[in-house]
Amino acid sequence: MYQDEKSDPIYMRLDDSKIIGSQEVKPGIILHFSDKNQIVGIEMLRIIRHMPMANLKQMQSEVA
């Protein structure tokens, strides 16, 4: 398990496509894009600032 206490990251990979670009859309939230301009990964730095630890244990996601 990877742990970096300084950046406190979490990474969600959504697709196996090659990442060709990234964009920080909000401070500490970085989207990774494929050559088709689709989001293939979401990286959040300093996750504790975005989500209290209690919520991380029950983190849920929705698919649209």
Helix H or strand E encompassing 45 = none
- Can you tell me the distance from the alpha carbon of 21 to that of 46, in angstroms, rounded to the nearest whole number? 21
What are the tens digits of pLDDT across the range 18-31? 999 999 999 889 99
Cα-to-chain-centroid distance, residue 49: 14
pTM above 0.75, yes or no: no
Tell me which of 55 and 42 has the higher pLDDT. Answer: 42
Looking at residues 12-16, what average pLDDT do you find? 93
Q: Are 41 and 31 in contact (CB under 8 A)?
A: yes
